Amino acid sequence: MSKSYTGKKGQAGPGILKILIVLAAIAFFAYTSVVGLGANGAGSLSNVKLGLDLAGGVSITYQAVDEDVSAVDMSDTQYKLLQRAQSYSNEAEVYPEGGNRINVDIPDVTDANAILADLGNPGSLEFRDENGNVVLSGTDVAGAVGVINDKYTSARDHYLVQLTLNDEGVKKFSEATAANIGKPIHIVYDGQVVSSPIVQSAITQTTCEINGLESYEEADRLATTIRIGALPLQLEEIRSTVVGAKLGEEAIQTSLKAALIGFILLAVFMIAVYGVMGLAADMALALYVGLVIFLIGAFELTMTLPGIAGIILGIGMAVDANVIIFARIREELAAGKSVDGAMKAGFSKALSAIIDGNVTTLIAAAILFLLGFGTIRSFAQTLAIGIVVSMFTSLVVTRFALRGLYQLGLQSPKLYGYREAKAAKEKKPFDFVGKGKIFALISIVIIVAGLVTIAVRGLNYSLEFSGGTSTGVTFTEEMSRERIEGELIPLVSKITGDNDIQYQQVLQTSEQQSAGEYQVVVRTRTLSVDERLQMQKDLEEAFGIDAEKITAETIGAVVSGEMRRTAVVSVLLATLAMLIYIWFRFKDIRFGASSVLALIHDVLVVLTAYAVLRWTVGNTFIACMLTIVGYSINATIVVFDRIRENRKAEPRTDLREIVNRSITQTLWRSVNSSFTTFLMVFVLFIFGVTNIREFALPLMVGIVCGTYSSVCLAGNLWYLMSTKLKKKEN
């Protein structure tokens, strides 16, 4: 290799043009992300719609009490709830979930607990005469509002409820009031009499008044009860969340900081390890971030905290394809090809592994989106967008930028890792197959320890899996265990009447610690709205806490049961789908079976970590498991793709040698790829808020054990199936 590495005549111009095009695209999407397009700033980060966990507010899920409900009644109920919710915020949303549930999201409100109390648990509303006959139902009431009549000063006529009836209601009420003048008509909500106004005259109009109330508060409370009960269906609250806006702002700031720091570290790592190729990858990565943000705005996706985590995780995974390509380029250089030829061959030979790896991860994201709900679906959306965009940036943008740098004159093989590739080629393959029993023993010991732990003391289920109410309190001073158990727990026990109160001191971020903030999460039985309000009031009075620093979440038994089933079903479906896909792509069931066994290993090892370390099994558990499954299979496919390639090139070579050489050839690709993803997740753990840290910690374990299973177990399993089972068949 003694030839000159200066660019050929006429190449510098196209090279400069390519780099300028890439830089222009990066600048455009960077500008769009910050400023946006047009007068409304379309496409900017500031215009992205925020979920409740970032904007703050209240989210409630109601379920119809009756199992058989009509679509018309569900639609009417949804409409009335929307009208009520939009009286608090124009950004409120009410949407169905399944056939008998309705979600109410009211973002960016300052007194979320009060709104939750006002919405209440919609129940049945009836107007009955003295004999108990129902003369009017909730569906006949169009509206109710508490008012102050300034014309009169006496309490009897000063505080009123203005009642509005629909046409059917007017017809019913005119007959009932005409027959009951001088008698009471009882207003009954959920079987309880809440008021008994006396009929003074026949009512024949759409509006009437209920007087005799002693205060405006009483009038407003009665009007609220009538409005709640005036729904076509009787509903019960099965899930609710209250998040303060300040906590949401902190989550955004810390997440953006994590993304920026992670991106910088990743960019430096890529240049340090891959030189010119790393520089091209960094350009593609910058464009990747801009494209993802642009697409989130274009599709009008709601951004949530797990969604941001999906983007940050995607940054680490986006360079995975580049690592595969660069490893291939170095191998071609070591084989004697020129830089130009090595680049062409590297992209071509890496294509199948990149496609297969990303498709399997997309399968996990699709199942997560279909079976998940709420913020977890947001994570699935951003993860899926990131996977698709990363394929484009790695296969198209990286190649375009790399060609540009090459044409600029950066053509020396040393700049592309020729020495490292030559040294790796001359290195003797490690005997992975020979150490297979040791690898298997290590895994068995870990998994058995986890299963025993689960059998003895079970898993530490969070609210989502066990049901109940979780209250997060951020104190402005450090709370020792003695103060928590001596002051906080007795306060909670007084409200709940329960002495078995669980609590957890949350590991704080550096920003929270510097601000003197310490969070404690208290888990109790399911609390009513009144109990939640009382707890907020008592916490504010006892500890001087800002209401914005108190969050609450309630999960009913129905939802927690569904979460447990969803966790199992989603992992099983993802595993089955990947087995079928790999079987189809590799035309060999042994590749599919061994990859699935490696996946089961990863799931059990992470489950062991959850059990032994008492990590909370919560709403991020499903997302964590499916992400690990998708990521692990990606690394396994790279190994299998190399085994398939080497077998085709050397059909007479011993399988043991092929497996050992294939794993050795892909080893540093597996390590570097895992490190880039691990780096981003680690930054998330360091700078993220509580919910994100609970997701990042097991994910780091999953990345490590996924790399281990891909390198040390998957190839060995395939080898055993290809030799031992084949002998038995013969």
Residues 542 and 571 in one domain: no
Q: 597: domain CATH number?
A: 1.20.1640.10
The pLDDT assigned to 518 comes to: 79
Residue 444 in any domain: the answer is yes
Residues 289 and 412 in one domain: yes
The per-residue pLDDT for range 363-399, each reduced to its tens digit, is 888 888 888 766 778 888 888 999 999 999 999 999 9
Measured CA to CA, the distance from residue 594 to residue 524 in angstroms comes to 44
Residue at a domain's end among 525, 555, 585: 555
The pLDDT assigned to 4 comes to: 34
pTM higher than the cut 0.75:
no
Residue 1 in any domain: the answer is no
Q: 138: domain CATH number?
A: 3.30.1360.200
Q: 90: domain CATH number?
A: 3.30.70.3400
Asked whether the CA dihedral 126, 129, 131, 134 is positive or negative, the reply is negative
Residue 140 in any domain: the answer is yes
Residue 464 in any domain: the answer is no
Domain range for 413: 12-36+245-424
Residues 276 and 388 in one domain: yes
Residues 32 and 106 in one domain: no
Contact 225, 84 (CB under 8 A): no
Residues 521 and 614 in one domain: no
Contact 180, 129 (CB under 8 A): yes
* Exposure string for 39-61, b = 16+ CB within 10 A, e = fewer: eeeebbbeebbbbbbbbbbbbbb
Which of 37, 58, 161 shows the shortest CA–CA distance to 103?
Answer: 58
| Arithmetic mean of pLDDT, 318-326 | 89
Confidence of residue 442 (pLDDT cuts 50, 70, 90): very high
Terminal alpha carbon distance of the chain: 51
Contact 704, 671 (CB under 8 A): no
The per-residue pLDDT for range 246-302, each reduced to its tens digit, is 666 777 788 888 888 999 999 999 999 999 999 999 999 999 999 998 888 878 788
Residues 348 and 449 in one domain: no
| Arithmetic mean of pLDDT, 645-668 | 91
Residues 573 and 611 in one domain: yes
Contact 354, 399 (CB under 8 A): no
Residues 210 and 141 in one domain: yes
Contact 135, 179 (CB under 8 A): no
Measured CA to CA, the distance from residue 65 to residue 235 in angstroms comes to 5
Alpha helices by DSSP H, listed for 98-166, are: 112-119, 155-158
Angle between the N-to-C axes of helices 529-543 and 489-496, in degrees from 0 to 180, rounded to the nearest 10: 150
How many structural domains comprise the chain?
5
Alpha helices by DSSP H, listed for 372-480, are: 375-392, 398-407, 418-426, 436-457, 463-466
- Adjacent-strand bridge partners of 148: 159
Per cent of the chain over pLDDT 70 is 91
Residue at a domain's end among 540, 555, 570: 555
The pLDDT assigned to 513 comes to: 64
Residue at a domain's end among 189, 212, 243: 243
Q: What is the DSSP string of 251-265?
A: HHHHHHHHHHHHHHH
Which of 425, 252, 224 shows the shortest CA–CA distance to 328?
Answer: 425
Residue 139 in any domain: the answer is yes
Pick the more confident residue, 563 or 266.
266
Residues 69 and 182 in one domain: no
Residue 7 in any domain: the answer is no
Which of 632, 580, 576, 578 shows the shortest CA–CA distance to 604?
Answer: 632
Token duo for residue 586: 């590799």
In 3-state terms, what secondary structure has residue 499? coil
Name the residue with tokens 């994590």. Answer: 258
Amino acid type, 535: M
Amino acid type, 96: P
Residues 396 and 438 in one domain: no
| Arithmetic mean of pLDDT, 496-508 | 74
Weakest-pLDDT range from 30-44, 336-350, 635-649: 30-44
Count CB neighbours of 355 within 10 A.
Answer: 15
Residues 706 and 593 in one domain: yes
The pLDDT assigned to 507 comes to: 58
Q: 499: domain CATH number?
A: 3.30.70
Residues 507 and 604 in one domain: no
Residue 46 in any domain: the answer is no
Count CB neighbours of 28 within 10 A.
Answer: 14
Pick the more confident residue, 659 or 482.
659
Alpha helices by DSSP H, listed for 126-182, are: 155-158, 167-179
